[in-house]
Amino acid sequence: MAIGGAMDHEDPVLAQEFIHRAGGASARIVILPQASALPDTGENYVRQFLKFGAGQAAALEFRHRAEAGTAEQLDLLRKASGIFFAGGTQMRLAVLYGGTRLEEELLAAYQRGCVIGGTSAGAAILSKTMIAYGKGGPTPREGMLQFSAGLGFTDKFIFDQHFRQRDRLGRLIYAVATNPGVLGIGLDENTAVIIEDDRVITVRGIGAVTVVDGRQISNTDVAEIEKRGAVAVSNLIIHVLTDGCRISNNEVFIPDKLSESD
């Protein structure tokens, strides 16, 4: 469950969705707050998840790579039904976790069916290749972003957050043009995608999710452009999806809002 940042804690639809999928009143949620520079981030998330109905919640509090992967941390992850990454700076997560026992246990938890979620930087880190840094703008341009290794819960998607709020369409198109086998997922704030088995995508929240599909690209000059020049891409497919919309087996479903209101 990837969230675009700025979660609304007054109307906690997304937090409650995550709790529900993690087991509701039986949920055992582990929070990883390291992307944030604020010392009370983990504690705040623990309070929020308990308030919104989780059975148990705990934060793994550490700030140095050498502290990752203690026996206590691994035990909590093995018992977790939901693991949630807070927002901040995604490179902090890649540097702290990469190649550690903690990273191994995170992937093992996912493989056994633990629900994985994250907001903002915590969404970016979920994919195998992540957008580490970049500039906004509507036009894809050479060198407008930097990739880094994410945690690799999926290799089918790449996530970008605060999407419309920070005008990030150009960089997501650039990301997909250079990696046309993945789907680019642009997440508006307080909006989420729920991905099941890398096949079914469901949108929740008040904003939109922009899906950039490059699998049908017929031509692009992305490999030839230099010095921040504009990039051309043809036959790119873009979907803009809102709450309740779904993609299943490459087919897009948009709910009939008129029928719902009737």
The 3-class secondary structure across the chain, one letter per residue, is CEECCCCCCCCCHHHHHHHHHHCHHHCEEEEECCCCCCCCHHHHHHHHHHHCCCCEEEECCCCCHHHCCCHHHHHHHHHCCEEEECCCCHHHHHHHHCCCHHHHHHHHHHHCCCEEEEECHHHHCCECEEEEEECCCCCCECCCEEEEECCCCECCEEEECCCCCCCCHHHHHHHHHHCCCCEEEEECCCEEEEEECCCEEEEEECCCEEEEECCCCCEECCCCCCCCCECCEECCEEEEECCCCEEECCEEECCCHHHHHC
Catalytic center residues: 120, 162, 189
Kindly list the structural domains of the chain, giving each domain's residue range(s) and its CATH number in brackets, ordered by start: 2-261 (3.40.50.880)
How far is Cα of residue 194 from the mean position of the Cα atoms in its chain?
9
pLDDT by residue, tens only, the chain of 262 residues = 999 999 999 999 999 999 999 999 999 999 999 999 999 999 999 999 999 999 999 999 999 999 999 999 999 999 999 999 999 999 999 999 999 999 999 999 999 999 999 999 999 999 999 999 999 999 999 999 999 999 999 999 999 999 999 999 999 999 999 999 999 999 999 999 999 999 999 999 999 999 999 999 999 999 999 999 999 999 999 999 999 999 998 899 999 876 665 5
Residue 7 φ then ψ, to 5°: -60, 140
Give the per-residue pLDDT at 229.
98
The residue type of 196 is: E
